[in-house]
Amino acid sequence: MRKPRLKLSTTEAAYHCISRTVNGERLFDPTAREVLRHMLWQVADYCGIQVLTYALLSNHFHLLVRVPVKVPIPDTELLRRYSVLYPRPTRYQTARHEIIRQQLAENGPEAVEWRRRQSALMGDISPFMQILKERFTIWFNKAHNRYGTLWSERFKSVLVEPQSHALQTMAAYIDLNSVRAGLARDPKDYRFCGYAEAVAGKREARMGLQYLLGGRSWEATQSAYRELLFGTGAGDRDHGAIVAPQDLQRVIKAGGRLPLAAVLRCRVRFLSDGAVLGAKAYVATQLARYSRETGRRKNSEPKPLPAITDWGDLTVMRGLRRQQFD
């Protein structure tokens, strides 16, 4: 039975979303990742969702996105977003954009239905991920003369407390994917991640990281975020060197602690499987709502992260019985 997906519909939310290829096959070469990168920004613009950061790899991708509160969208903005996703009418709908504008001006039943259909796809994480994955699948299958499913399952997501230490920690974990995979020593050198795009000057990528750091200037954001990534500031990468999984397990068993930057260079399952990540009060609120809606986890409490580093006040909704790091 599919587990109910925890969503917020009346308040701002942030999600860490993950999707993997079928059988974990390494299908995405640099060209495919470039197309997926372009589609990511395009679909996010259409859906009104802010990409805070991301990482695209050969067999999976990570996204950290902010979903604003849903509000009525003016016709001019609906048309702009529609043109982003469908910049050119098809050969069967050569006048489609003009027809839509005319219908909206007349404000008849067709306009009401068109607004309803478009609005239903905006401001919601599920349609955003569905559109992104479907559009990329169509391109990939056509480009590689294949058919059938490309993705192993429906995307997995973790609800992250917005505007918090949780969001910054998750962002750093995502941007460090290329370091964990051995693709780069510094994520700024890996083209297919949010941090590298921000360093390269992409406005939307910079805005995502600036949101994470409380709306500071780009210069202040860059300095603070690199300190989070590397632990000791922009110039020192040794302090945040990769820790081998077996070494990390030994530290855990010995009750020792490591710098957060070092821990984030390991695959931390709590950051992808914990369901909700945030301060204890935030996770408790989501647990209570989840219990009301599903009847499950009525007696659950927020689960602390293992004391391997200073996580601040972070907790998760779902504890893990299996190995926590690998």
Tell me the chain's radius of gyration from C-alpha atoms. Answer: 21
**In a structure prediction context, what are the per-residue pLDDT tens digits for the chain, which is 326 residues long?**
444 444 434 578 999 999 999 999 999 999 999 999 999 999 999 999 999 999 999 999 999 999 999 889 999 999 999 999 988 776 666 667 888 999 999 999 999 999 999 999 999 999 999 999 999 999 999 999 999 999 998 899 999 998 778 999 999 999 999 998 889 989 999 999 999 999 999 999 999 999 999 888 999 999 999 988 887 444 444 444 455 555 555 555 555 667 787 778 777 777 887 789 999 999 998 888 888 887 776 667 888 887 778 888 888 887 765 555 44
pLDDT at site 236: 42
d(CA 129, CA 117): 17
Give the strand order in the sheet containing 156-160: 50-56, 60-67, 13-20, 156-160, 276-279, 314-316, 303-304
Indicate the DSSP class of residue 304.
E
Alpha helices in 48-158 (DSSP H): 75-85, 96-106, 109-120, 125-143
pLDDT at site 36: 98
pLDDT at site 307: 78
pLDDT at site 93: 64
pLDDT at site 225: 92
d(CA 18, CA 54): 10
Query: How far does the chain reach from its first CA to its final CA, in angstroms?
Result: 27
Which tens digits make up the pLDDT trace of 116-160?
Answer: 999 999 999 999 999 999 999 999 999 999 999 999 988 999 999
In the structure encoding, which two tokens stand for residue 88, read together? Answer: 């050119």
pLDDT at site 107: 93
Q: Would you list the DSSP string of 175-202?
A: HTHHHHTTS-SSGGG-SSBHHHHHHHT-
pLDDT at site 5: 47
The separation between CA 308 and the C-alpha centre of its own chain, rounded to angstroms, equals 25
> In the structure, how many helices (H) and strands (E) does the chain have?
14, 7
Which tens digits make up the pLDDT trace of 70-105?
Answer: 889 999 999 999 999 988 776 666 667 888 999 999
Q: Return the H-helix or E-strand segment holding 248.
A: helix 245-253
pLDDT at site 239: 42
Own/partner long-range contacts of 114-118 (Cβ < 8 Å, ≥24 apart): 115/75, 115/78, 118/73, 118/78, 118/81, 118/82
In the structure encoding, which two tokens stand for residue 22, read together? Answer: 């079928």
